[in-house]
Amino acid sequence: MSKRYYITTPIYYVNDKPHIGHAYTTIAGDILARYYKSQGAEVFYLTGTDEHGSKVAESADQANMSPQEFVDQQAELYKQAWSNLNIEYDYFVRTTDQRHKQSVKKFMGVLHEKKAVYEGQYEGLYCTGCEKFLTEKELVDGLCPYHKKPPQKITEKNYFFKLKDYLNKVKKLIESDKIAIRPINQKNETLGLYKQGLEDFSVSREKVKWGIPLPFDKKQNVYVWVDALQNYISAVGYGDNQEEFKKWWEEAEVIHLMARDILKFHAIFWPAMLLAAGVAIPEREFIHGFFSINGQKMSKSLGNIIDPNELVNEFGIDATRYLLLSQFPFGADGNIELKRFTEKYNSDLANGLGNLVARTLNMIEKFSDGKIPAIVKCSRDFGPVNKFIEELAFDKALKEIWSQIDWANTQIDQQKPWELHKAGEKDKLNKLLSELASLLCEIAKAITPFMPQTGQKLLGLISVDRIKKGEPLFARR
């Protein structure tokens, strides 16, 4: 049986518009999915939207819309952005889907039957921005450190999940890499959370009206995070299609992608809930860093959000994908500077790849009558590129490919084919041209998961009987 992968992104809150933070994770998943498909694996790639909870209900209120109207409108923005970025997902899950709601009810019922939840009184500090309870220790000057707002004091009846019963098991799974958390700094970060103390958490809310009713106490709605995490199983048939569920959850390698802001929910709470319900756990979790913009947190209130659609308008689809993914190591935080986008576009795409393609095709047309002088070999794997992609070290994979592009451009500068042509050195010239054509073919294949249209276009340019130089791949900015 060929390998099977089930790749997921977080489901994004619909109170926000998609920005480049969301785009980064979604492009990363798309690259991984396209890469595995190109290796002959079966892949299911999931993304979607998180549509319940007080934050979304408040935003709907502010927009003077019913929550359902509001979430319908907002979910479209995500679909539109992903289409603009050429994201090839297999399914878009929404937590307001009937199928998801049914699945959540089923799972919550199982937790209840297995006595993994208990009733309690909650008194705590709730940050609506985070949609979670904060401890006094987490506050900075009495404010939520992320949203810079005071949390609300809340006292209500809740059901709690017996996290403590599963903490040791989850820890062992993480330590042994049965749940492989990568990059390794994020695995250490997760294990570090154990030292801070981890408390049972509530799985329901009494006063939040926009949510899924708890099947065993209809006065309560499922806590938005507990609802949201279940998207990963509802989308592949938990509680409604055993065959599909087996295929994609139990038998595939499950890979969750996200940024470090939601590590605790995914690396600890989620596996614990699955263990409690007797459901299989995910195999891998890849955690990337957090972007800031010119040194500041990206936020609506600061007005510094970068819209991926605008980048696509400015640079095109593939260049946007390249520029976002090539800048930082996956696990590290990064500071985005917009002016670097233009610089990098010009140096790597217009001058680097674009120029190599233009020069090579031009020379084949001019010195070889449009015919590649020898058979093109296009089988070589690009050194460690595959390994880097599998480790989600996208910046390294791209650097490796670009080092070949730079090498080829240097070969042209040094060997000066136009002089070889003048001097009648046919063998040397032909050897160089066929090497360059082979390299272009290999580059086309290697960049396809990252830049699908460019990869295909390039393959098309060199697969014809008579090669002609065409429009530049990337016009200078």
Q: What does the binding site for ligand MSP look like in residue numbers (CB under 6 A)?
A: 10-13, 16, 21-22, 24-25, 50, 228-229, 231, 258-259, 261-262, 290-291, 298
25/326 with CB nearer ligand MSP: 25
Q: Distance between CA atoms of 122 and 159, rounded to whole angstroms?
A: 9
Kindly list the strands in the beta sheet with 201-202, ordered across the sheet, starting from the edge strand earlier in the chain: 132-134, 117-127, 152-161, 201-202
Written as six digits, the tokens of 275 are: 């263990």
CB of 44 to ligand MSP, least distance (A): 16
Q: Give the active site residue among 3, 164, 207, 300.
A: 300
Written as six digits, the tokens of 476 are: 């200078």
Written as six digits, the tokens of 4 are: 């099977």
24/367 with CB nearer ligand MSP: 24
287/439 with CB nearer ligand MSP: 287
159/265 with CB nearer ligand MSP: 265
Q: Give the active site residue among 297, 399, 421, 431.
A: 297
CB of 190 to ligand MSP, least distance (A): 14
Q: Give the active site residue among 55, 100, 127, 132.
A: 127
CB of 11 to ligand MSP, least distance (A): 5
DSSP 84: H
224/433 with CB nearer ligand MSP: 224
DSSP 269: I
Q: Look at residues 12, 20, 31, 129 and name the one whose alpha carbon lies nearest to residue 79.
A: 12
Q: How many degrees, rounded to 5, is the angle at CA 259 between CA 254 and CA 263?
A: 70
Q: Given 3-state DSSP classes, what are the helix, strand and coil percentages for the chain, each rounded to the nearest 5?
A: 50, 20, 30
- 232 close to 46: Cβ distance less than 8 angstroms: yes
- Residue 147 falls in the annotated catalytic set: yes
Q: Show Cβ contacts of residue 441 under 8 Å, excluding neighbours closer than 6 positions.
A: 376, 377, 378, 459, 462
- Residue 300 falls in the annotated catalytic set: yes
302/475 with CB nearer ligand MSP: 302
Q: Distance between CA atoms of 287 and 284, rounded to whole angstroms?
A: 10
Q: Distance between CA atoms of 101 and 51, rounded to whole angstroms?
A: 11
Q: Show Cβ contacts of residue 300 under 8 Å, excluding neighbours closer than 6 positions.
A: 16
CB of 18 to ligand MSP, least distance (A): 9
Q: Distance between CA atoms of 180 and 174, rounded to whole angstroms?
A: 6
- Residue 247 falls in the annotated catalytic set: no
- Which residue's CB atom is positioned nearest to ligand MSP? 21
- Residue 378 falls in the annotated catalytic set: no
CB of 225 to ligand MSP, least distance (A): 7
**Using N-to-C axis directions, what is the helix angle for 54-62 and 67-84, rounded to 10°?**
100
Integer angstrom CA distances of residue 401 from 73, 284, 380, 431, 445 = 40, 26, 12, 21, 11
CB of 469 to ligand MSP, least distance (A): 39
Q: Give the active site residue among 100, 130, 256, 288.
A: 130
CB of 17 to ligand MSP, least distance (A): 10
38/304 with CB nearer ligand MSP: 304
List, as one string, the DSSP characters of 178-194: SSEEESHHHHHHHHHHH
CB of 223 to ligand MSP, least distance (A): 12
26/368 with CB nearer ligand MSP: 26
- Residue 127 falls in the annotated catalytic set: yes
Q: Give the active site residue among 100, 105, 144, 396.
A: 144
Residues with catalytic function: 19, 22, 127, 130, 144, 147, 297, 300
